[in-house]
Structure 1
Amino acid sequence: MDDEPAENISGGDGDAGRFAEFEPGDGTSRAEAVVDRLGDLYWQKTYGVRKTTSSSSAARQNAERSEDGRDAFECLVRTVLSQNTSDVASQPAHDALMERYGGSEARSAADSSSGERRDPRDGDGLAAALADAHRDELAETISSAGLYNQKSETLVRLADRVCEEYGGEAGFDEFVRTGDPGEVRAALLDMKGVGPKTADCVLLFAGGRDGVFPVDTHVHRIARRLGLAPPDADHEAVRAALEAAVPPEKCGFGHTAMIQFGREYCGAREPACLDGPEACPLYERCDRVGVDELAETVVDPAEAAGE
């Protein structure tokens, strides 16, 4: 199973947090200029994490972030549910999971129906509930997300590890928010079923870390098509290129906005530029690697580079 989602999940509820003004700057790099142009197109979403972004001479993002940010473990759970599926499919699975396992009442009902005593490692928390969950019941609960048998195994395994190593979700949340970012990322990647995109989403949406630019399928495709990263770059190389070229305080917005742009304009098979320059707001900033406008054909940038 590929640990990276086929489509993005933004890591926060669609209407969570507040919208903040995004003020494009001078674009000191080409990648930053692209993000600034995306800032003209979309409101910046605030991610509901426990800090406020700083200002810079290039851009001032008055992103007042909510104090009730997404817990790190729930963010991890949600991102796992999104793997190899869409938000439309993963959202109902997340809602059903939280209804069944997310609160003390749900947990008590689950314990009563199972007739088994649970390990009281984390009170009535979500991590403890999932660590003790019957996998068949969990799989049924998240069935709308696809690959539910594998995902149920992954969630139980992750929950058990969070309970064992961090004493539950509160300790895990503290580690994600205050630990050294490199150490946090390494710890997340050491968990089976967690890939770079998942780890970076947890750092960004739960940890509130500036300078993190998660790369999903949309970002991977668009960055290479635009010419912001080498055409044959893998996900990690694209991430490194974007994080080096985009100011830290703009990376989170750049991630969500690039995904939105991919959904609305720059699809894998039918990018808007095939309808002419006026159809795409990034036309003047794009190398269109792999796109032949005259022949109206589209290939992966890596394939185009190999020709």
Structure 2
Amino acid sequence: MDDEPAENISGGDAGGGRFTAFDPGEHATRAAAVVAELGDIYWEKTYGGRDAFECLVRTVLSQNTSDVASQPAHDALMERYAAKEDEDADLARSLADAHQDELAETISSAGLYNQKSGTLIRLAARICEEYGGEAGFDEFVRSEGPAVVRDALLDMKGVGPKTADCVLLFAGGRQGVFPVDTHVHRITRRMGLAPAAADHEGVREALEASVPAEACGFGHTAMVQFGREYCTAREPACLDGPEACPLYDYCDRVGVDELTGAVVDPAVAED
């Protein structure tokens, strides 16, 4: 996640700021109440406005790796190929013309760099061909309907549902989009907010149906952070007792045995 904004608009206690309190009692679903509770822990943010192609690049680099590994790769790529001092520079055209071995070396910290460099060059070439470059692609993402944009992105080899949804959220600022990464997939099923055997698309559909559209973006980023700090894959905070997890009362703890300390994937627990 990015650095916290200067003003806390979530209603959380930390940091002060403008108060817009969440009241879980007013929410129609448990998923909505969970997102509201996350607003008392993390700072709510607004989304949209990022360059669509750079957002696509950033998300591809983050696939199957951590932010710690992918951020330096993104920074190195931008320094080498963006040429922001040139008003006519086009990142998509620069990457479409890049030598794959040089690009792979540039993004090596992100892991799977041979695969990702090929994906980025292929995506850049297609965006140049279909949209005329990054500016045309950005206009498409911002102006077309979400379903149209999502279908177009999913038609691109190397772009999966999470990547498409991140572009819609962070570049297009679309409400009602809840990207599902490994943290969201794990937490949602563990808490019982989606079926234990649901795949990423099943989780996305469950969340977008039960969380208010305006809260989906914050719900995604806050749940990712919650997964890193509390509801980790192997040692969720609830193993230390109810008081250790701020969402304990909302959670079914599917796949978590508090007595033995055993933790399994919710789908396994439900077999």
* Structure-1-length-normalised TM-score: 0.82
Match for 2:79 among 84, 99, 102?
Answer: 99
Partner of 1:187: 152
Q: CA deviation at 1:20?
A: 4.3
Residues of 1 paired with 2:262 and 2:133: CA distance?
51
RMSD in angstroms over aligned alpha carbons?
1.5
Partner of 2:119: 154
Superposition pairs for residues 15-54 of structure 1, below 5 Å?
15=3, 19-22=7-10, 23-25=21-23, 26-47=26-47, 49=48
Q: CA deviation at 1:15?
A: 3.0
Residues of 2 paired with 1:182 and 1:202: CA distance?
12
Q: CA deviation at 1:123?
A: 4.7
Any gaps of 5 or more consecutive residues in structure 1?
A: 1-9, 50-68, 108-121
Q: Percent identity?
A: 76
Q: CA deviation at 1:16?
A: 7.7
Paired residues, number: 259
Residues of 1 paired with 2:40 and 2:220: CA distance?
15
Residues of 2 paired with 1:158 and 1:190: CA distance?
11
Letter in 2 for 1:39: G
Q: CA deviation at 1:104?
A: 5.4
Partner of 1:137: 102
Structure 1 runs, 4 residues or longer, greater than 2 Å off: 15-20
Letter in 2 for 1:99: E
Partner of 2:17: none
Letter in 1 for 2:252: D
Superposition pairs for residues 205-244 of structure 1, below 5 Å?
205-244=170-209
SS of residue in 2 equivalent to 1:292: coil
* Structure-2-length-normalised TM-score: 0.92
Superposition pairs for residues 65-80 of structure 1, below 5 Å?
69-80=49-60
Residues of 1 paired with 2:5 and 2:157: CA distance?
30
Alpha-carbon distance change, 132 to 240 in structure 1, aligned in 2, over 3 angstroms: same
Superposition pairs for residues 271-286 of structure 1, below 5 Å?
271-286=236-251
Are the aligned partners of 1:19 and 1:46 in contact in 2 as well (CA < 8 Å)?
no
Residues of 2 paired with 1:16 and 1:163: CA distance?
34
Q: CA deviation at 1:204?
A: 0.2
Alpha-carbon distance change, 210 to 103 in structure 1, aligned in 2, over 3 angstroms: same
Match for 2:217 among 252, 274, 286?
Answer: 252
Partner of 2:67: 87
Match for 2:138 among 165, 168, 173?
Answer: 173
Are the aligned partners of 1:19 and 1:44 in contact in 2 as well (CA < 8 Å)?
no
Partner of 1:65: none
Residues of 1 paired with 2:62 and 2:135: CA distance?
23
Q: Does 1:305 align with 2:270?
A: yes
SS of residue in 1 equivalent to 2:39: helix
Residues of 2 paired with 1:209 and 1:304: CA distance?
35
SS of residue in 2 equivalent to 1:172: helix
Letter in 1 for 2:69: A
Q: CA deviation at 1:227?
A: 0.4
Residues of 2 paired with 1:219 and 1:76: CA distance?
20
Residues of 2 paired with 1:221 and 1:17: CA distance?
27
| 1:46-101 deviation digits (Å, cap 9, x = unpaired) | 33x2xxxxxxxxxxxxxxxxxxx210000000000001110000000000000000
Residues of 2 paired with 1:219 and 1:24: CA distance?
21
Residues of 2 paired with 1:20 and 1:44: CA distance?
7
Are the aligned partners of 2:188 and 2:194 in contact in 1 as well (CA < 8 Å)?
yes
Alpha-carbon distance change, 228 to 155 in structure 1, aligned in 2, over 3 angstroms: same
Alpha-carbon distance change, 38 to 147 in structure 1, aligned in 2, over 3 angstroms: same
